[in-house]
Structure 1
Amino acid sequence: MDYLITLITGLVSDENLARWIFLGLAFISVVTFTLCLALLITNLLNPLKKRLHSLSHISKDTTKKSAESSALDNTLESMDKYISPSSMKERNQTKTLLMHAGYEQKQALTNFYAIKIILVIFAFFGVLISSKFLPELSTQKILFYTLLAMAIATFLPNFVLQKKAKKRIQTLSNAFPDALDLLVVTTEAGLGFLAALNRVANEIDALSPELSSELQIVCRKVRLGVPLPIALSQFIERTGLLELQGLVSIISQSVKLGSSMGDTLREYAIEFRDRRMQKAEEEAAKIGTKMIFPLVTCIWPGFFTVAIGPAIIAVLEAFGGK
């Protein structure tokens, strides 16, 4: 406590004011902790939820796990309005990134912002505790490092989420041409489109479990009564494969008209395979540029030291002898 008051005194230059600020912060922390604890206990001891769980015909272990998970989800849901941003644009963008990264649960958005807040709190107290073991640091430096750690903790989850979403989209994009080839073969063999899509979803699991799962979701939605065009549009929205819009339009028209899709799917399969090859060639063309930095910093100094170093030493010795 004295250490924190000393830090605050270094900022406000008044010990009495620093004590009042510390007492205010402590009061706010206690009130916040009490409210969170009350929300948690209220959700855990809700009689309606207890009654619903007692009426369910599930095993004891499964019921216990479900109750704990439900209590946690309900607690996070009740805190959603406090931890999520008010901007709908930011919420929608984050929700889209979570879908592209494979997190489609209802509470995924709330969990994401809860993780960000927890990381910020850990960063704040981590820097304060670490600064206690470094007494040579001034108050201004401690404040700077605290703000820097909190900023990193705020933006790090966004960076990780964007990387995961981009990696998953790339994985799905690389596997889709192979799935399209299988779809051409199965439709030309006489299967209906939905049966062919289900067969492809099962066969592609060894190559890309993510794409297999997404295709199986499409098949389940169609069986439950969702129109095929809407299910395919939702597939594009979940996966982020925007280049499939044209394919979805043609499939929808073929389903409505009852025409054969073999030739159309074959053309699209060739096109997607060419796109995948072009992306691979593009990445290969970038290797030369990416190799400049390691060549200049790691390889060339050692090469010139070995190749030209003895000659330079001999020249210096020759001129030094004269």
Structure 2
Amino acid sequence: MDIVALLSSREFLISVLAAVSAGAVVFTFGSSFIVKSEMKSRIKRVALEREKMRAEEMARLRGNTTLDSRGSIRRNEETKNYMKNVVQRFSLEKAFLDEGTVDKLAMAGFRGQGHLTTFLFMRFATPVGIFVLVSLYLIFVMYPDKPLFLNLLYAIAAAIIASFLPNVLLKNATVKRQASIRKAWPDCLDLMLLCVEAGMSMEHAFKRVAKEIGQQSVALAEELTLTTAELSFLDERSRAYENLGRRTGLDNVKSVMTALIQADRYGTSVGQALRVMAEEGREQRMMEAEKKAASLPPKMTVPLILFFLPVLFIVIMAPAIITAFSQTVKSF
């Protein structure tokens, strides 16, 4: 009973939350150093992607298909057996899989059947696990005196909220990845234009730019490497361009890929198309910077009112108040 009282006490819960907050702060500051140390290994894995794609294409030519219905090459990821068994036993693909799930995972950088199986399993296991944990905590620790159906009702509400957690995490990863690609895309176009005007083919241009842009955006380097492999193996080059636009999900990338498809189809100058798109990319980045600069004064209004003006008033009025108060005390 002492342990139950300790776990349900306010001081214990406050201590746990404080420890979690401190751990989150330490992890936030430490993750930046970890990401920097892992960047070189990630770039090496991206460089090996083309060799993996070559092996998969050779397997496809021998009879093992590794292309999806849209012609995009997918990596075969290994998942744990229990995840596969759960997905197959409960038919989670019919329940959670739709037409855009694979593309959403690709936008977040997760490709292959392994990542798809893991995502479907997490969508099923997260609400179930949260329901069990919350039920046990409420029934045996937090509210043992309350009716059972009320605790179960709270647990069901927590499970419903937790069911959105995999989609929220996937959306967060997609936004971060798209932000990295969007930031490095204008520089990528400039480098690609230089490579094309130097006489390189599109395959060699993509390969060279992928190596150079990796220090700025690993996600973009990975996508360019995959596009290089698809340009070498797919029957139609337009499929590789379309797959790049679909994997990134960015309008500016899709517009550039559309221009490359038209240049390849009608025989127009690829360098001219890239030059026009590069100029538009630089103008768009400048417009976004001006937009952020213009939105800064309204954003600073609330912090100034809440934090700066009260302190300013205190500094200005405090001497007068102190003087008036001292004179009042002397008069009495």
The bucket for the TM-score relative to the shorter chain is 0.5 to 0.7
Identity among equivalent pairs (%): 28
Match of 2:230 among 214, 218, 221: 221
Tell me the equivalent position of 1:250. 259
Where does residue 130 of structure 1 map in the other structure? 137
Aligned to 2:88: 78
Taking structure 1 as the reference length, the TM-score comes to: 0.67
Partner of 2:286: 277
Give the letter aligned to residue 119 of structure 1: T
Return the match for 1:194 from 192, 197, 203: 203
1:289 matches 2:298: yes
Larger RCO (alpha carbons 8 Å, 6+ apart) = 2
Deviates more, 1:132-141 or 1:112-121: 132-141
Contact 1:73 / 1:107 at 8 angstroms: preserved in 2? no
CA contact (8 A) 1:222 1:228 kept: yes
Tell me, yes or no, if the aligned pair for 2:79 and 2:114 is still in contact at 8 Å: no
Query: Please, which runs of 5 or more residues in structure 1 have no aligned partner?
Result: 1-65
User: Could you say if the C-alpha distance between residues 76 and 288 of structure 1 is closer, same or farther in structure 2, counting changes exceeding 3 Å?
Assistant: farther
Using a 3 Å threshold, how does the CA distance of structure 1 residues 250 and 238 change in structure 2: closer, same or farther? same
Structure 2: distance between partners of 1:147 and 1:67:
33
Q: Which residue in 2 is equivalent to 1:98?
A: 105
Any unmatched runs of 5+ in structure 2?
1-75
The alignment's TM-score, normalised by the length of structure 2, stands at 0.66
1:179 and 2:211 matched: no
Deviations 1:202-253 (A, max 9, x none): 2222221111111111111121133111110011111102233333233223
Q: Does the CA contact (< 8 Å) of 1:80 and 1:110 recur in 2? A: no
Change (3 A) 1:199 1:68: closer
AA partner of residue 146 (structure 2) = S
Q: Would the aligned equivalents of 2:135 and 2:151 in 1 still touch at CA under 8 Å?
A: yes
Deviates more, 1:104-113 or 1:225-234: 104-113
Alignment CA distance shift 1:287-1:79 (3 Å): farther
SS at match of 2:95: coil
Cα RMSD, aligned residues only: 3.1
CA contact (8 A) 1:76 1:111 kept: no
Quickly say closer, same or farther: Cα 1:67–1:176, change in 2 above 3 A. Answer: closer
Say if 2:213 and 2:221, in contact at 8 Å, map to a contact too: yes
2:212 pairs with 200, 203, 216, which one?
203
Aligned residues: 254
